[in-house]
Amino acid sequence: LPRALAVLMVGASLAVSGAVMQALFENPLAEPGLLGVANGAGVALVMAVLLGHGLLPIWFLSACAIAGALLMTMLLLGFARRRLLTNARLLLVGVALGIVCSAIMTWAVYFSTSLDLRQLMYWMMGGFSGIDWRHQGLVLALLPIVLWLCCQGHVLNFMSLGEQQAQQLGVSLHLWRNLLVLAIGLLVGVSVALAGVISFIGLVIPHILRLTGLTDQRRLLVGCALAGGGDTVIS
């Protein structure tokens, strides 16, 4: 039961995060794994285990993963907002950052003599085998964030019209961007702490639902939560 709940919530979190990132970055290929956000969370978690010698509590490791995800998301959003990079180049930068983070994680595990860190090699591949009742606090922490994001479809609809029109409709872009980035960082950080780096759920699920005609963000986000959780449980 605890593993099934974790699978359901992580799948829903990653799918919703992917849909929000695609709207936020105005890039149809944006998703936590592909843009390196998940790998950023992974690096922070591995460094915490390495420096803490495996003695740090689960909540602190999760906080480190969240901080890594937030840092990577804010970095990429800064590039996107300043128009320093085209959508294609932003994607390539995200992929490159993800590769660098993955290399750092592999290097840390390879040169470590700590059994706890070597066991993270299996975690880095993505999986739910280590989930038990001790992790249910983290699993339940995902639920209110997913529900909150699913209720923000109208804001994302306004933001998709462009900055000028969104501001004319009364949307505070600076506030909402920060709130959405924070929510994405929390979801991805906790998901990585629970199950490791799992890619492509946030990319594939929103596009499949759009092909069925779900283009309104209010319905798309709810559909992503249900389909992402269900798909992860089935797989």
Q: What percent of the chain has pLDDT over 70?
A: 91
Q: Reply yes or no on whether the pLDDT at 152 is more than 80.
A: yes
The pLDDT tens digits for 31-85 are 887 778 888 888 888 888 888 776 778 778 888 888 888 888 888 777 777 766 6
The pLDDT value given to residue 50 = 80
The pLDDT value given to residue 223 = 94
Q: Reply yes or no on whether the pLDDT at 114 is more than 70.
A: no
Place of tokens 């070597």: 118
The pLDDT value given to residue 116 = 61
Closest CA to 16 of 218, 172, 234: 218
Residue, of 18 and 111, whose pLDDT is higher: 18
Q: What is the 3-state secondary structure (H, E, C) of the chain?
A: CHHHHHHHHHHHHHHHHHHHHHHHHCCCCCCCCCCCHHHHHHHHHHHHHHHHCCCCCHHHHHHHHHHHHHHHHHHHHHHHHCCCCCHHHHHHHHHHHHHHHHHHHHHHHHCCCCHHHHHHHHHHCCCCCCCCHHHHHHHHHHHHHHHHHHCCHHHHHHHCCCHHHHHHCCCCHHHHHHHHHHHHHHHHHHHHHHHCCCCCHHHHHHHHHHHCCCCCHHHHHHHHHHHHHHHHHHC
Domain range for residue 18? 1-234
CATH number, position 212? 1.10.3470.10
In order of 121, 209, 211, the CA distances from 7 in angstroms are 20, 20, 25
Kindly report the length of the chain.
235
User: Contact, 94 vs 31, CB < 8 A?
Assistant: no
Structure tokens at 36: 């390196």
Closest CA to 227 of 128, 146, 132, 133: 146
User: Contact, 23 vs 217, CB < 8 A?
Assistant: yes
Arithmetic mean of pLDDT over the chain: 83
The pLDDT tens digits for 156-207 are 998 888 778 888 888 888 788 888 888 888 888 888 888 878 878 888 999 9
The pLDDT value given to residue 131 = 78
The pLDDT value given to residue 9 = 92
Q: Say how many domains are in the chain.
A: 1
User: Contact, 114 vs 50, CB < 8 A?
Assistant: yes
Q: Cβ atoms within 10 A of the Cβ of 96, count?
A: 11
- The pLDDT of 110-135, averaged and rounded, is 70
Q: Reply yes or no on whether the pLDDT at 124 is more than 70.
A: no
Q: Reply yes or no on whether the pLDDT at 148 is more than 70.
A: yes
Instruction: Out of 120-129, 206-215, 224-233, pick the least confident.
Output: 120-129
Q: Reply yes or no on whether the pLDDT at 103 is more than 80.
A: yes
